[in-house]
Amino acid sequence: MRAIFRAFKYIIIGILFGIIMTKSEAVSWYRIQEMFRFQSIFMYGIIGSAVILGIILVAIIKEYRLKDFYGRPIYLGEKDKRWKRYLIGGSIFGMGWALTGACPGPIFVLLGQGYTVMFITIAGALAGTTFYGLLRDRLPQ
């Protein structure tokens, strides 16, 4: 029963995410093109306002050492400091983002919208993930 409640909670949050991503138009291929062509403030406004609010939120969490729902201190992961993987990996993802107009979340949101062709993109993404898993030890980190 508790497992069902727990699953239900994250499904609800996911539903909100799917609705927000759709209504924000952040899932739009056209909007991503507009962003990469610097022709509107729209996507920068979305990401920028999310980050500004996020910075304030994280600062409050750290300042007051806020606890989560289960009473544990809220922990925000530190990313390790090697930079090559972020730059190279990030650039590779950026190419895929421009091509499909979608990042990993929107791929699944678009599937829900009825763009079943996203199954192919999901297959591609899983293949790419597997390929990374195979090559990981041989890549510069």
Q: Hey, which residues between 3 and 32 contact another protein (CB under 8 A)?
A: 6-7, 9-32
Question: What's the closest the beta carbon of residue 2 comes to another protein, in angstroms?
Answer: 13
Instruction: For 11-38, give one letter per residue: b (16+ CB within 10 A) or e.
Output: eeeeeeebeebbeeebbbeebbebbeee
Question: What's the closest the beta carbon of residue 41 comes to another protein, in angstroms?
Answer: 7
Q: Decide: is 138 part of the binding site for another protein (CB under 8 A).
A: no
| Count of chain residues binding another protein (CB under 8 A) | 113
- Binding flags for another protein, 74-113, as an x/- string (CB under 8 A): xxxxxxxxxx-xxxxxxxxxxxxxxxxxxxxx-xxxxxxx
- Residue 24 corresponds to which tokens in the numbers above? 């924000």
User: Of 28, 29, 24, which Cα lies nearest the Cα of 47?
Assistant: 24
